[in-house]
Structure 1
C-alpha cells in the first residue's frame, strides 16, 4: 500500500484489516479446511499479528462463519436479477453471468462452502436450514411463475437450481483441473466470456426458455 493509499481513520483501518483477514481466511480455509486452519496461519497469510485477528473475530468459528456468509451473500446478490427479470432468458442468463464471475474472482470462498457442505455442514447447518431454504423456495417460486406463463418448459425448479449451482461453481471448485486442461494456464478474458456463453446456451436451450415480450 502506498503512503497516499494508507487508511487515514480508525474506520478505514478497521475496514482494511478486516479485508486482509477475510481474504487470508478464505485462502487458508479453502486449502486446510476448518479443522486444519489455525488463527496463526491466517494471521501469517494476512501479514497481521495474531492478536489483531482475535480483536476482529474472537474465535476461529466466528471468522469461518463470516467467510461462508460473505460468499453466500455474493450469491444472493447475484440472484437479485430473478425478481426483476421478465423471464428466464433475462433472469437465468444474468444469474449465470454473475455466478461465473464470482467463481472467477472468489474461487477460494466457493471452495470453503463446498468443503463445508461435503462434510455435512458441521459449522453452518443452521444457516442451511434457514437462509438457504428460504432463498431456494423464493427462487423456485419465480421459476414456477415463468413456467405458468409459458416462458419455459415444465422443468423441476429444484433440479434446475442444482444444475445452475453445480455448473457455475465448477469453475471455482475445480479451477485447477480447468487450468490443467487449458495448458496449465488460467482462462483468459476471452475464454471466460466463451464459457459463460456456452453455459447459457446449453441451459437456456435445454429448458426451452423463450424470450419475453
Structure 2
C-alpha cells in the first residue's frame, strides 16, 4: 500500500540524492540533525498523504540511537525508508518515463507561441515581490498558484530542480528564469492564456 498522493512522480523519488537534499533542506536550524517536525516537513514536501504516520515510521527505522533526532549518519536509513514506500511504483516508472518521453517529442514539434513565453516571464517577474532580482521558493509557488496549478508545491520543487542551476535556493531572474518558463510551458502546453484569466 502506498501512502503518498499519485501526483508525485516516481522518477523524482527514485533519485536517492534528490531525496537526501530535500531532507537536508528541511534542517531549518542547521544543527546537522532532523527533529520530528523537520522530517514531517520533508514528507509534506513529498506530498505524503499521512506525514505524521510516515514520520513515526521513519523514526522507528532510521533513529538507530533513539535520541529523538535523525543525524547525518542516519539520513541514509531515512532515504531508504522513503524509497521502500515507493517500491510499488517502480514498475509504473518505466511506463511513465516512456509516456513523458513521447510527450516531449510531440511538444518539440509544436513550439509554444512567443506570447505565452512573454506572459510567463511577466508573471514570474511580478512574483518577485521584494524586487531583489531572484525568486524564492514562496515566490515561485505563488506563480504556480496564479497559474491555478493543482500541485503548486510539487511544481515548485520540480521547477527548482530544473532552473536553480547554481543551487543557491533562488531562481535568478537574469539567467535562470528562461529554464523556469520553459518548464512551465512543458507542464501546461497550449493552456497558458486560459490559466491566466
Larger-gyration structure (1/2): 1
- Report which of the two has the higher share of helix: 1
The TM-score, its normalising length taken from structure 1, stands at 0.25
Instruction: Specify which structure has the bigger relative contact order, considering alpha-carbon pairs within 8 angstroms and separated by 6 or more residues.
Output: 1
- Report which of the two has the higher share of strand: 2
